[in-house]
């Protein structure tokens, strides 16, 4: 009897807590807003309110206890505003913004031109009753999409520019939940024609922007470890338990109507499962990292429609510690691999280790990306986003230009290259000066 009563009581109490939770959640969110209008729309851009001195001290004390510290001469800045772990980063294709999402129920939009400033302002979009696990900018930078953790689906947010800030508003109706397993990545094609979602089973879905499914892909890789849309917007790639990376082309007819998803090419050469891959900005190079303890750089600038296969340019070793992620600079000159909470940067030309950063984040690195100008590498894995100078990229660019200078015969070209080398060298010197 007593046991029954106890169970009943706990069920009742549990129900009460559940009932109260959304109300409480809403209260605290509204309470933290600064503008009345922010309470109406779903996720408003509100400049952060200046905390009082007491709040500041409390915050400082809290941070001292909880925040992982990391310093390095090549660290350009640390972006801090999230109060929960950051899970995904995305640069807008115009290079102006970086988006981050976190389990603190916000997406933050940072201005890349602030990276070298002392203060880093960000704009905040709230995720009502949920949080985003992934975030991607639309190609025109007038919207972003998120993958919702609880909803397990896609929500579109419009970004309306108002003076020097954005108003964020959720589009009506989330996409339907279609995946049977958890979503591991999302993407929007640079052409603005499709959205991709990939789940941890073997499925990838291609959607139009309104949320209708255009195609469903079975990767046949036992489990998907990673999948993404190429920055040029033509391809979707996937890797998983099998040692190959598969790449598809999403094809449209002459009048722009969706036609089909067809196999483009495969990267074959690893001897164990592939953990991740990355494209250069024009998809002419790809980098892969595998459980076999190597990373590989591939030339994918081939006519696959004429049965040409991509070919291997380089194989390098890495520690092989998982979880890992790989990033390739847009110009394909530098490969960065994170291993647990460390990062190593390699020259894509020689395979040599260029830089090593240890214990960059308090937890496993959840995302790693180069900015569109090849100047910075950003990483996250706790509440902070760290921005590194891509000195390896500067050195590789200078070395390429010196080679071109030697080969050039035209005086105009030689003069132009000489000036470019000088400029790049002084930019690198400026970064290294900060280092000392």
> Can residue 63 be called a binding residue for ligand NAG (CB under 6 A)?
no
Residue count of the chain:
436
Both structure tokens of 366: 């959840």
Binds ligand NAG by CB under 6 A, chosen from 50, 71, 253, 409: 253
Torsion (CA) 25, 26, 27, 33 in degrees, nearest 10:
110
Identify which of residues 257 and 412 has a Cβ nearer to ligand NAG in the complex: 257
Give the three-state DSSP class for 62. Answer: helix
> Taking contact as CB under 6 A, which single stretch among the options 58-66, 71-79, 166-174, 254-262 is the one that binds ligand NAG?
254-262
Q: Give the one residue of 249, 266, 282, 342 binding ligand NAG; rule: CB under 6 A.
A: 282
Contact residue for ligand NAG among 31, 36, 257, 412 (CB under 6 A)? 257
Of 70 and 252, the one with the shorter C-beta distance to ligand NAG is 252
255 binds ligand NAG (CB under 6 A): yes
Asked if 258 is part of the footprint of ligand NAG (rule: CB under 6 A), the reply reads yes
CB of residue 373 vs ligand NAG: minimum separation in angstroms? 7
Name the one range near ligand NAG by CB under 6 A: 139-147, 247-255, 304-312, 320-328.
247-255
Q: Is 129 in the site for ligand NAG (CB under 6 A)?
A: no
Residues in the interface with ligand NAG (CB under 6 A) total 10
Which residue number places its CB atom closest to ligand NAG?
257
Nearest to 99 by CA among 416, 433, 385, 347: 385
Residue 283 contacts ligand NAG per CB under 6 A: no
Region of 53-61, 197-205, 240-248, 253-261 interacting with ligand NAG (CB under 6 A): 253-261
Yes or no: say if 359 and 342 are a contact pair by the CB < 8 Å rule.
yes
- Location of structure tokens 């992934």: 134
Q: What's 351's DSSP letter?
A: -
By beta-carbon proximity to ligand NAG, the closer residue of 146 and 247 is 247
Instruction: Write the binding mask 327 to 366 for ligand NAG: x where contact by CB under 6 A, - elsewhere.
Output: ---xx-----------------------------------
396: Cβ contacts below 8 Å, ≥ 6 apart: 333, 334, 347, 348, 349
Asked whether position 281 contacts ligand NAG by CB under 6 A, the answer is yes
129: helix, strand or coil: coil
Residues in contact with 88: Cβ distance below 8 Å, sequence separation at least 6, in sequence order: 100, 101, 132, 133, 134, 135, 366, 367
Contact 428, 391 (CB under 8 A): yes
Shortest distance, position 91 Cβ to ligand NAG, whole Å: 12
| Token couple for 117 | 């400033």
Q: Tell me how far, at minimum, the Cβ of 285 lies from ligand NAG, in Å.
A: 11
- What are residue 250's DSSP bridge partners? 261
Is residue 112 a contact point for ligand NAG (CB under 6 A)? no
Per the CB < 8 A criterion, the answer to whether 325 and 339 are in contact is: no
In whole angstroms, the minimum distance from the beta carbon of 219 to ligand NAG comes to 24
Helix-helix angle 411-435:391-407, to 10 degrees? 160
Minimum Å distance from CB 149 to ligand NAG?
A: 31
Work out the end-to-end distance of the chain between its first and last CA atoms, rounded to an integer number of angstroms.
74
CB of 102 to ligand NAG, least distance (A): 28
| Strand ranges for 253-341 from DSSP E | 258-267, 274-279, 285-290, 294-299, 311-317, 324-328, 334-339
Interacting residue with ligand NAG among 53, 54, 172, 254 (CB under 6 A):
254
Could you list the residues that contact ligand NAG (CB under 6 A)?
Answer: 253-255, 257-258, 281-282, 330-331, 374
């Amino acid at each position: 009897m007593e046991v029954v009563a106890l169970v009943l009581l706990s069920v009742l109490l549990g129900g009460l807590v559940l009932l109260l939770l959304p109300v409480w959640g809403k209260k605290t969110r509204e309470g933290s807003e600064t503008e009345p209008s922010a309470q109406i729309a779903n996720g408003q851009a509100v400049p952060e309110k200046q905390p009082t001195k007491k709040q500041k001290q409390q915050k400082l004390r809290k941070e001292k206890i909880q925040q992982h510290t990391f310093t390095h001469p090549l660290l350009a800045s640390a972006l801090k505003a999230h109060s929960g772990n950051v899970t995904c980063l995305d640069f807008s294709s115009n290079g102006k913004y970086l988006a981050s999402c976190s389990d603190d129920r916000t997406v933050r939009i940072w201005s890349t031109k602030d990276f070298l400033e002392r203060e880093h302002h960000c704009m905040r979009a709230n995720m009502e009753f949920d949080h985003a696990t992934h975030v991607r900018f639309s190609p025109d930078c007038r919207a972003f999409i998120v993958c919702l953790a609880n909803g397990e689906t896609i929500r579109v947010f419009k970004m309306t520019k108002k003076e020097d800030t954005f108003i964020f508003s959720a589009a009506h109706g989330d996409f339907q939940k279609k995946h049977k397993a958890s979503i591991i990545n999302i993407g929007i094609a640079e052409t603005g024609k499709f959205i991709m979602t990939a789940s941890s089973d073997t499925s990838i879905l291609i959607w139009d922007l309104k949320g209708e499914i255009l195609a469903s892909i079975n990767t046949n890789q036992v489990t998907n470890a990673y999948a993404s849309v190429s920055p040029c917007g033509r391809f979707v790639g996937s890797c998983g338990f099998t040692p190959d990376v598969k790449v598809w082309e999403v094809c449209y007819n002459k009048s722009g109507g969706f036609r089909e998803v067809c196999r483009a090419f495969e990267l074959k050469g690893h001897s164990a499962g592939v953990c991740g891959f990355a494209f250069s900005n024009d998809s002419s190079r790809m980098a892969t990292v595998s459980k076999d303890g190597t990373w590989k750089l591939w030339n994918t600038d081939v006519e696959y429609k004429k049965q040409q296969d991509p070919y291997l340019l380089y194989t390098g070793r890495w520690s092989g510690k998982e979880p890992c992620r790989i990033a390739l600079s847009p110009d394909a000159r530098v490969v960065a691999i994170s291993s647990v909470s460390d990062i190593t940067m390699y020259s894509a030309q020689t395979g040599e280790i260029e830089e090593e950063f240890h214990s960059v984040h308090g937890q496993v690195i959840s995302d790693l990306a180069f900015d569109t100008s090849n100047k910075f590498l950003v990483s996250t894995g706790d509440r902070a986003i760290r921005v590194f100078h891509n000195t390896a990229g500067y050195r590789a660019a200078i070395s390429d230009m010196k080679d071109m200078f030697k080969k050039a015969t035209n005086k105009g070209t030689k003069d132009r290259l000489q000036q470019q080398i000088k400029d790049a060298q002084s930019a690198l010197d400026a970064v290294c000066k900060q280092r000392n």
